[in-house]
Amino acid sequence: MSRFQAVEQANSRPSIDVKLPSNKISDYFATSVFTTDAMRQYISKEAYDSVLLSIQTGQKIDRKIADQVAGAMKAWAAERGATSYSHWFQPLTGATAEKHDTFFTLSGGKAIETFGADALVQQEPDASSFPSGGLRVTFEARGYTAWDPSSPAFIMSVGSSGKTLCIPTIFVSYTGDSLDYKAPLLKSLHLLETAAVPVCNYFDRNVTKVVATLGWEQEYFLVDEALFLARPDLVATGRTVLGAAAAKGQQLEDHYFGSIPERVYAFMLDMEVESHKLGIPIRTRHNEVAPGQYECAPIFEEANLAVDQNQLLMDLMDRIAKRHRLRVLLHEKPFAGINGSGKHNNWSLGTDTGKNLLSPGKTPKNNLQFLTFFINTIKAVSTHDNLLRAAIASAGNDHRLGANEAPPAIISVFIGTTLARILEELEQKVKSGKMDENEKAELKLDIHNKIPDLLMDNTDRNRTSPFAFTGNKFEIRAVGSSANCALPMTILNTIVAQQLVDFRTETEKLIKDGESKDGAILRVLRRYITESKSILFEGDNYSQEWADEAARRGLANVKTTPPALDFFITESAKKVLVGNNIYTDRELDARYEVALEIYKRKVEIEALTMADMVITQVIPSGMRYQADLISNLKGLHDLGIKKKALTAQTELLEEVTELINTLKAEADSMLLAIEKANKHHHAREIASAFCDTVKPYFDTIRAASDRLEQIIDDRYWALPKYRELLFIK
Ligand code: ADP
Ligand code: MG
């Protein structure tokens, strides 16, 4: 389809009516989820109690019970029109994967529907094509998926009749190595709980369970389907590798919180209805800063569930957008010169007594608990900032983290002026030696009295910080919009868990040496404040001054993915990750390889797509205009017009000709660079070659192409322009 046909189609598309199942979301919320309430109606009381206990304690579910649960799931799903089931898992590709089977089978020649414990608990998808970093040699290419009872099964609808019961699972190789995002996440959550409960017990004996909570905010772009399909780069890579800036970009910021276009609104409603049916508690929707950019966010949940829900949502968005003849772009940087997309991960810790451990409390004791978790989190990030950087590294995110866009590649923590002052005072006032009762009481009261200011300070949010405290939670803002939240969550859980273990060890030692509990806690916290000061930054993360200051503080500023990934395999990373059994040594090495390989593939696809577009679309467009200019010049010359009077045509012709030459030469060189890059043997070398020798062509080629786009006859330009992609809805 030509650009003009696409524009025509996009302009004339009606918005689709969305019927709400009911005016009350509560009428249909989670109706497609096999919740514990739903389960309760299908299985015996004993089985139900046993499953709940297993979910709460993480214990293995008995085979007989699993059989009952499977029967219940099948009956529940069949009543809702599902004819097949699928183990649903999160391989390292970043997308979700499903392997469908029907309930149908033959028994003695008779057709029956069946689904038992065997099918529920374990499956063997033919998974040889999923990335494994060499963990599965081809002859044992089979891995298996295993049921995760802590995340509920759900029914996914495709079209009006295709309904599938999806069972959240982990994905493991036959040798027992984990091949997905979920297994390490579950391990990290367990680790964090084990580490956090005893620390909570310093303040509250009643706490027996601590969970990490996650509330993500998902940014995305929408473009019309016809315009999308007319851009090979959007189709192949999810971003525009070429395209001159529109005269109107985001300068006016008039899109932000502006009214939502009708078609987009219909899409959002539809997505929300489907999300709500699937139990995803989406609550907010709005326009983002960039034109064509939007955001949605749910009410937070336990991290494991929230991760699953975000994966599910990304999948849903894609399907529902198609229904509205729109395409959703989850890429971190779909358009040059316009804000990219991120996925803020709001993270906190909640207890089974209903307390948010990162929420300032009402009593001095509560506030000491708050400060304990608050300061330990800062210390963990300070110790393992590089690991956090590695966890958010991807080809797409390089455009945000490494370029002139916040957040930067330097990991720092923003806590706001009130807390910064409280920490400063704590550092000054706590003595390094033993403190008497009066001193401690005074100090605790003093901290407590300052906390109310926090609520006011809460509005003072630093939008440029990659890791910010926002009143009652930390927010990792540097996660890529297309990323699986599981990895940054796994890393954060693990480093905080390790930190809490260290904290407890040190506190116990002081207590053993005769210090009181509060005194010991305060003294350890004081030292942590001193040790992690360099990670705190309250200013503009986007400024050159910060880059200089960070360098003086010794903070890393790694702008590209391959060297950022190296942080995964450092001694300190291995110590905290392998030492805590989140990954085995082999798994960590394999994941490193997989991440490098994915990076390389992404850059390679972008480069090949770009070369293809330049040769088959951009240059031919340029040549048509070149031909026009030539015949125009010839005609004018034939009329006897002097060369001196033909400067406009001559200059244009010269520039067009030069740009065409540049484009051809650079595209050819880039293809050679790809060939050369692929000759390296190790994943790291290949990734580096793509990063350092292929990617630089993106800029030179783009500059030439964008210039050509700006000077040639609009009718000849084959690719939908930015002004069309961004503003036609
Ligand atoms: P805003 O940042 O826009 O003011 P909120 O502070 O209510 O809005 O929350 C933003 C995001 O933080 C939401 O996605 C929400 O789910 C999440 N969130 C709020 N409290 C927590 C918490 N205790 N743990 C994890 N996420 C949370
Ligand atoms: Mg936010």
Delimit the domains of the chain by residue range. 17-178, 189-583, 598-727
Q: Closest Cα partner for 270 from 10, 12, 16?
A: 16
**For residue 138, what pLDDT is reported?**
40
Task: Let me know: does 623 contact 711? Beta carbons within 8 Å.
Answer: no
Token pair in block for residue 631: 């015949």
Q: Closest Cα partner for 598 from 330, 398, 394, 387?
A: 394
Fold of 189-583: Creatine Kinase; Chain A, domain 2 (3.30.590)
**Nearest listed ligand to the Cα of residue 283:** 1
| Ligand 1 atom closest to 348 (CA) | 24
| Ligand 1 atom closest to 347 (CA) | 25
Cα 350 to Cα 259: distance, rounded to the nearest angstrom: 36
Candidate of 346, 374, 472 to mutate for ligand 1, largest count of ligand atoms within 8 Å of Cβ: 346
Q: What is the DSSP letter of 496?
A: H
**For residue 140, what pLDDT is reported?**
45
Cα 36 to Cα 48: distance, rounded to the nearest angstrom: 8
**For residue 440, what pLDDT is reported?**
77
Centre of ligand 1 to C-alpha 339, Å, is: 22
Centre of ligand 2 to C-alpha 341, Å, is: 12
Which residues of the chain, if any, have pLDDT below 70? 126-129, 134-142, 160-161, 249-260, 452-461
CATH class of this structure's domain 17-178: alpha beta
Please name the residue whose Cα sits nearest to atom 13 of ligand 1. Answer: 215
Instruction: Look up the pTM and report it.
Output: 0.95
Strands 210-224 and 293-298: antiparallel
Task: Let me know: does 220 contact 320? Beta carbons within 8 Å.
Answer: no
| Ligand 1 atom closest to 359 (CA) | 23
pLDDT in tens, 234-245: 999 999 999 999
Angle at Cα 544 formed by Cα 539 and Cα 548, nearest 5°? 90
**For residue 258, what pLDDT is reported?**
58
356 lines ligand 1 (CB under 6 A): yes
CATH architecture of the domain formed by 598-727: Up-down Bundle (1.20)
Cα 723 to Cα 567: distance, rounded to the nearest angstrom: 40
Token pair in block for residue 314: 């990304």
**For residue 252, what pLDDT is reported?**
55
**For residue 408, what pLDDT is reported?**
87
Centre of ligand 1 to C-alpha 396, Å, is: 25
Cα 77 to Cα 39: distance, rounded to the nearest angstrom: 11
310 lines ligand 1 (CB under 6 A): no
Task: Let me know: does 98 contact 164? Beta carbons within 8 Å.
Answer: yes
Cα 532 to Cα 347: distance, rounded to the nearest angstrom: 20
Cα 511 to Cα 520: distance, rounded to the nearest angstrom: 6
